Amino acid sequence: MKFTLLKLVLTLITLFGVHLSVYAAPDFAHGKKIDQEKCYACHAKKTGFGNGDMIYTRSDRKATDLNKLKSMVARCNTELRLDLFPEDEADVVAFLNKQFYKFK
Ligand code: HEC
């Protein structure tokens, strides 16, 4: 009886822990996929560079710290009605920061 209860508690802790880590850790691959599918083409066109990555590395870039990066992603998402969920936004921000901006 005691053993079963202990097992149940341990299972719950494990499940809960896994669940939490899913939300805590950004999914870079998912962020990259979103960037490629929803962002790259327009950035390539709008900047005139013909390359959708260069908006993130241009010398006069708008995102000059992590908070500005977050708000630029949010701005493109809401103004252009891209329908990203907050988790998606967080994944793209994490990907862009890791790949291009490298803010602390
Ligand atoms: C329909 C066109 C369009 C789409 C789609 C789009 N953007 Fe943008 N984005 C722009 C334009 C135009 C700018 C430049 C805005 C400016 O210079 O004020 C920009 C700028 C940005 C910047 C700032 C770059 C810098 O200067 O540092 C980020 C970050 C960004 N977009 C993220 C995204 C993300 C992430 C997505 C996809 C989820 C996305 N955008 C989709 C048009 C778009």
> Residues 38-75: pLDDT tens digits?
999 999 999 999 999 999 999 999 999 999 999 999 99
Least confidently predicted of 2-11, 17-26, 46-55: 17-26
Ligand 1 midpoint to CA 58 (Å): 12
**pLDDT over 80 at 104, yes or no:** yes
Residue-level pLDDT at 5: 72
Name the burial class of residue 38, with classes exposed (0-12), middle (13-18) and buried (19+) by CB atoms within 10 angstroms of its CB: middle
> Whose alpha carbon is nearest atom 18 of ligand 1?
62
Residue labelled with tokens 């990203």: 84
Q: Is 38 in the pocket of ligand 1 (CB under 6 A)?
A: yes
The rounded mean pLDDT for the chain is 89
Nearest to 95 by CA among 44, 40, 29, 37: 29
Smallest CA separation from ligand 1 atom 3, residue = 42
Distance 23 CA to ligand 1 centre (A): 25
